[in-house]
Amino acid sequence: MTATVYAVANQKGGVGKTTTALNVAAAMAELGAAVLVVDLDPQGCLTFSLGYDPDSIEPSLNDTIVGRTSMADTILQHDEVDVVPANIDLAGAEVTLLSRTGREYLLRGELSELLDSYDIVLIDCAPSLGVLTINGLTAADEVLIPVQCETLSHRGVAQLLDTIEDVKRLTNRELVVRGVIATMFDGRTRHAREVLQDLLARYELPLVGPPVRKSIRFAESPNVGATLVGAGTDVPGASAYRAIARELLALPVDPDLAAGAGWSDEQRDAALGLVREGER
């Protein structure tokens, strides 16, 4: 068993990276996969969302970065998934790493010892471009790009794709952009549909799974220390993440699941402005 490593990345903040990483991880675990999530954000939002207090966790990812402990020793076993936690000390790691040759490869080196123990590793990247994000992209096999369908997020994708070109040229030639995950999607607005259509057409990116509908339940779930998927909350967004997980694991997606996400094939094609083969 060698894990596939996904970086969940977007330099723009607030697009749903952490929510996507957590819920996709939980949905994959639900399907029987051994999943590790790595919190690469000094804000520790992923760590907090799983019910831990980032400020009282020791050791954390920062201890691995500065060489105090191995990554395996930082892993916490949550009910849903295993997690490498982070806290605000990770902000200092950026500075520690800046003077180190080969700083881009540190996470890849640490993860390499764990790949045989998991099926899937999901890295929740920070909402900025720095050494940590470069580490995440260098360690990954594929990139998932969560996008909130608004103009500034569209611009964030352009900037991220530019960074991915740099990473492929300098540190990880094999990196593949798996596709875009449309988050907080409100299909009732023409702007959201236009952004998504333009994004997919302009950069020739695939859309992974159905768009994830906006729901207040996602904002509430960090309070209970469990993901929406893990808690069994019945909202379209949770079904969307289950469909995304199945697609990433190359499992068939039940039409009922897509319908539960609020996106039948017809709705999806209509929202994306696609014309089905038979209708041409």
Partner 1 sequence: MTSDDRRPGTSAAFDRISSPRPGTAEGRDGLGKEALYSTSPSAAPTSPVDAWCRRCDVPFGVSVGLLVRLLVPPFLIDPVRRRVWTRCPACDRYAWIQLRTGQALRVLLDRDPSR
CB 199 within 8 A of CB 180: yes
Q: Which stretch binds partner 1 (CB under 8 A): 17-25, 46-54, 130-138, 255-263?
A: 130-138
For the CB of residue 135, give the shortest distance to partner 1 in the complex, in Å: 10
* Residues of the chain by 3-state class (helix, strand, coil), percent to 5: 50, 15, 35
Which residue's CB is nearer to partner 1, number 112 or number 233? 112
CB 44 within 8 A of CB 85: yes
Q: Give the number of residues in contact with partner 1, rule: CB under 8 A.
A: 33
Beta strands in 78-208 (DSSP E): 82-84, 120-124, 142-148, 176-183
Q: From the list 66, 72, 88, 170, which residue makes contact with partner 1 (rule: CB under 8 A)?
A: 170
CB 61 within 8 A of CB 38: yes
Q: Is 100 in the site for partner 1 (CB under 8 A)?
A: yes
Of 225, 246, 187, 182, nearest to 24 (Cα)?
246
Give residue 45's Cα distance to chain centre: 13
Q: Which stretch binds partner 1 (CB under 8 A): 2-10, 15-23, 38-46, 124-132?
A: 124-132
Q: Which stretch binds partner 1 (CB under 8 A): 36-44, 62-70, 128-136, 229-237?
A: 128-136
Q: Is 171 in the site for partner 1 (CB under 8 A)?
A: yes
Q: From the list 201, 219, 224, 251, which residue makes contact with partner 1 (rule: CB under 8 A)?
A: 201
CB 243 within 8 A of CB 258: yes
**Binding residues for partner 1, per CB under 8 A?**
100-104, 129-131, 134, 151, 154-155, 158-159, 161-166, 168-171, 194-195, 197-198, 200-203, 273
